[in-house]
Amino acid sequence: MKNSDKTVIGWREYVDLPEWGIHDLRAKIDTGARTCSLHVEDIEELPHGKIGFYVVLNLKPKRRRHMVARSVKRGHVKSSIGHRTHRWYVQTTIKIGKVIKEVTVNLVERPGMNFRMLIGRKAIEDDFLVDVDHSFYLGQPKKKLKDSR
């Protein structure tokens, strides 16, 4: 794909996880990471290769959504400062702008994260160019009059 065919995004964007009914999740584009990371709470290993967890939608007031997904694997993640942690990996679809694609996401309980989701290289390859001088290049979410969740 030529660069002119790619969508330009900022260093942070709002994304959707349509299979999970999650919309307008503020995410940081992390070209230093291979896969996506999602801050979740209360990870639980379930029968038949599934994982249960809560995705934090809002902090104030705190709103969470319970999800169950098939585990792809459990592996190690090495942080930028060299710490290794064990994480579960799941697959889901992500929507960035008009592009929808299947991605692998590692689940992490890290409440101190500034962004609840980090978008790694595999999720943006082939489709996007990152303009590090801009945030929310694709726009801000529209204000909702009433929360339908």
Rounded CA separation 85/15 (Å): 26
Share of the chain above pLDDT 70, in %: 93
Mapping DSSP to helix (H, G, I), strand (E, B) and coil, where does residue 93 land?
A: strand
**What is the CA 51 to chain-centroid distance, rounded?**
16
122-147 residue pLDDT tens: 999 999 999 999 999 998 887 654 44
The position carrying tokens 């969508």 is 7
Which residue type is seen at 57? L
Structure confidence at residue 59 (pLDDT): 73
Structure confidence at residue 1 (pLDDT): 61
Mapping DSSP to helix (H, G, I), strand (E, B) and coil, where does residue 5 land?
A: helix
7-49 residue pLDDT tens: 999 999 999 999 999 999 999 999 989 999 999 999 999 999 9
| pLDDT at position 4 over 80 | no
Quick one: which of 111, 125, 95 has its CA closest to 13? 95
Identify the structural domains of the chain with CATH numbers, from first to last: 3-131 (2.40.70.10)
Which residue type is seen at 32? G
Structure confidence at residue 81 (pLDDT): 73
User: In this structure, what token pair is assigned to residue 135?
Assistant: 């945030």
Mean pLDDT in the chain? 89
Which residue type is seen at 94? I
| Mean pLDDT of the region 48-64 | 88
